[in-house]
C-alpha cells in the first residue's frame, strides 16, 4: 500500500514531465513582403494584383487571378486573401503584349475555386504593356472591390 508521500512524488513527477514536454508558442513575427527579383531565367514581366475597399474581414476571401497573355492562358498568380498581393512572373519576347485577367475565388462550402461572375470581375480586365529584353516590366493592378474598378500602373525596373 502506497503512502501519501509516494502519491505526492508520483503526481509531482508526472507534472514535471508534462512541463518538460510542452513547447512554447513561437513569437509572432509580422509577415515580410516577398522580395521578387529576376532569377536565372531572365524574367522580364511581373504582374501584381490585390483588392482594396474590403470593409469586413469576412468579405476578404481567398482568391487568385488567371493570367492570359496575348489571349493564351499563361498561368495564374499566387493564392492569397483578396487584400494581399498576388504575384505572377513570366519571360516574354520584347514587344507590346496584352494581359487579360480572370478573378477566381474560393467557394468555402464546396471547397474549390470558382470564377467570379462577369459582373463582379474587375473592369477593365485587360491592359496593354511593353516588355524589353533587358528590364523587368511590372504591371500592378489594384481592384476596388466595392465598384469592381481596376487601376493599372506600370513600372520598368
Which of 82, 86, 79 lies closest to 54 in space, CA to CA?
A: 82
In CATH terms, the fold of domain 45-156 is Immunoglobulin-like (2.60.40)
Burial 78-93 (b: 16+ CB within 10 A, else e): eebbbbebbebbbebe
Read off the pLDDT of residues 37-60 as tens digits, 9 standing for 90 and up.
Answer: 544 457 999 999 999 999 899 999
Read off the pLDDT of residues 137-153 as tens digits, 9 standing for 90 and up.
Answer: 999 999 999 999 999 99
Average pLDDT over the chain, rounded to an integer = 85
Annotated domain spans of the chain: 45-156
Grid cell for residue 134: 533587358
Measured distance CA(122)–CA(100) in Å, rounded: 10
Sheet architecture: strand order including 149-156: 86-90, 45-52, 137-144, 149-156
> Strand, helix or coil at 5?
helix
Task: Kindly compute the dihedral angle of the four CA atoms of residues 18, 21, 22, 27, in this order, to the nearest 10 degrees.
Answer: 160
Read off the pLDDT of residues 10-36 as tens digits, 9 standing for 90 and up.
Answer: 766 666 665 556 555 455 455 555 555
Q: Please, are residues 46 and 88 in contact by the beta-carbon 8 Å criterion?
A: yes
Amino acid at each position: 500500500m502506497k503512502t501519501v508521500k509516494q502519491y505526492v512524488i508520483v503526481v509531482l513527477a508526472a507534472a514535471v514531465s508534462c512541463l518538460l514536454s510542452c513547447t512554447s508558442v513561437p513569437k509572432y513575427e509580422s509577415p515580410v513582403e516577398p522580395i521578387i527579383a529576376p532569377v536565372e531565367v531572365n524574367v522580364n514581366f511581373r504582374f501584381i494584383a490585390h483588392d482594396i475597399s474590403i470593409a469586413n474581414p469576412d468579405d476578404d476571401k481567398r482568391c487568385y487571378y488567371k493570367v492570359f497573355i496575348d489571349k493564351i492562358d499563361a498561368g495564374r498568380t499566387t493564392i492569397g486573401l483578396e487584400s494581399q498581393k498576388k504575384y505572377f512572373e513570366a519571360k516574354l519576347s520584347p514587344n507590346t503584349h496584352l494581359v487579360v485577367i480572370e478573378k477566381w475565388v474560393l467557394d468555402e462550402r464546396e471547397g474549390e475555386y470558382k470564377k467570379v461572375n462577369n459582373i463582379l470581375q474587375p473592369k477593365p480586365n485587360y491592359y496593354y504593356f511593353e516588355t524589353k529584353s533587358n528590364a523587368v516590366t511590372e504591371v500592378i493592378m489594384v481592384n476596388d472591390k466595392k465598384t469592381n474598378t481596376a487601376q493599372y500602373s506600370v513600372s520598368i525596373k
